[in-house]
Amino acid sequence: MKALVQDRYGSCSIGSVPTPVAGDGQVLVRVAAASVNAYDWHVMRGDPRFARLSMGLRRPKTRVRGRDFAGQVVAVGAGVSSFQPGDEVFGDAGQADGAFAEYIAISPDLVAHRPPALTPSEAAAIPLAGVTALQGLISVLPGHTVLINGASGGVGTFAVQLATAAGASVTGVCSTRNVDLVTSLGASSVIDYRQTDFTALDTKYDVILDLVGNHALSTLRDALAPGGTLVLSGGGTYQGGSLFGPMRLILWAGLASRFTNQRISVLTATTSQQDLTTLAEMAAAGTVKPVIDRAFPLTEAAAAIRYVESEHARAKVVITI
């Protein structure tokens, strides 16, 4: 089968690899669409370098890139009863990767049924970004004031909609060209970071979800209400070329939270079938809508990753297969 193959850090290309089979406790899915996350280019770059201890010291342990996918089940392994051939599904391959390919074999625990109301591309846009937003906003209650820094990105576009659906008053932070997009997703106010630094304002928020990492921890805490929650996820904490990536931030966040009534956490999202199903139901009901910036064919998957890395893509970028 055709897949986006990576045999060394910093480079990947379309190649032929053996078609996987559904092993015991697995489903085999014919992939119709996949989507790109910042995670994908971090793995392609081997960044941060400290993470190569788990990813592979000299080259990636897994050759085929990609986490998010949607497609049709074509075979099930022994012990699988929740899916059968012909089912339309979507899911997240996790750190095993393998979604930028014509087929993927995966645990059914990381797969959910795709509602007919969603196209494969829309479903493929949901998993990692949607779950990250859902888990990052777990503390949001009706009436809360929520600020989302990086509101026009893959996670941010889901976060604006999920926080709004939870009954919060949402402020999105984005660039000038994305103000209208973030407003259309339900934000009650939008701050153009090119014009205004939200940390310089007097407004205090019950919850801040920082998806960019371009502010010091102390300034983010200053924008947080007493007893508020600060959630840090990705963004600048994983800047290219770094050695330890987010480790310093994780340590500082853990230390700071010991001496304040504010809750500070560094989010590492863990995909589950339950969360995928919740997001699928919300999307099918129109409560949440996956936003897609561009679509690339599988033959241009490497270009899709470069686009997400370097062009500040809005929302999600999809690969059609």
Q: What is the pLDDT of residues 210-262, one digit of tens each?
A: 998 888 888 999 999 999 999 998 654 444 445 445 555 666 665 665 656 78
pLDDT given at position 317:
97
**CA angle, residues 118, 120, 121, in degrees to nearest 5:** 100
Amino acid at 299: T
Q: What is the 3-state secondary structure (H, E, C) of the chain?
A: CEEEEEEECCEEEEEECCCCCCCCCCEEEEEEEEEECHHHHHHHHCCCHHHHHHHCCCCCCCCECCCEEEEEEEEECCCCCCCCCCCEEEEECHHHCCCCECEEEECHHHEEECCCCCCHHHHHCCHHHHHHHHHHCCCCCCCCEEEEECCCEHHHHHHHHHHHHCCCEEEEEECHHHHHHHHHCCCCEEEECCCCCHHHCCCCEEEEEECCCCCCHHHHHHCEEEEEEEEECCHHHHCCCCCCCCHHHHHHHHHHHHHCCCEEEECCCCCCHHHHHHHHHHHHCCCCCCCEEEEEEHHHHHHHHHHHHHCCCCEEEEEEC
pLDDT score of 273 more than 90:
yes
Query: In the chain, what are the domain boundaries?
Result: 2-126+290-320, 129-266
The architecture that CATH gives domain 129-266 is 3-Layer(aba) Sandwich (3.40)
pLDDT value for 254? 58
pLDDT in tens, 10-54: 778 999 999 999 999 999 999 999 999 988 877 776 565 555 545
**pLDDT confidence of residue 237:** 41
**267: confidence class by pLDDT, cuts 50, 70, 90:** confident
Mean pLDDT for the stretch of residues 206-210: 97
Q: Per-residue pLDDT for 288 more than 80?
A: yes
The pLDDT tens digits of the residues spanning 66-122 come to: 999 999 999 999 999 999 999 999 999 998 899 999 999 999 999 999 999 999 999
Q: Does 56 score more than 60 pLDDT?
A: no
Which position has the higher pLDDT, 6 or 45? Answer: 6
CB 171 within 8 A of CB 193: no
pLDDT confidence band for 266 (50 / 70 / 90): confident
Query: Which pLDDT belongs to residue 178?
Result: 96
pLDDT digits (tens, 9 = 90+) for 135-158: 999 999 999 999 999 999 999 999
Q: What local confidence, expressed as pLDDT, does residue 313 receive? A: 80
CATH class of 2-126+290-320: alpha beta
**Residue 240 has what pLDDT?**
45
Q: What is the pTM of this model?
A: 0.91
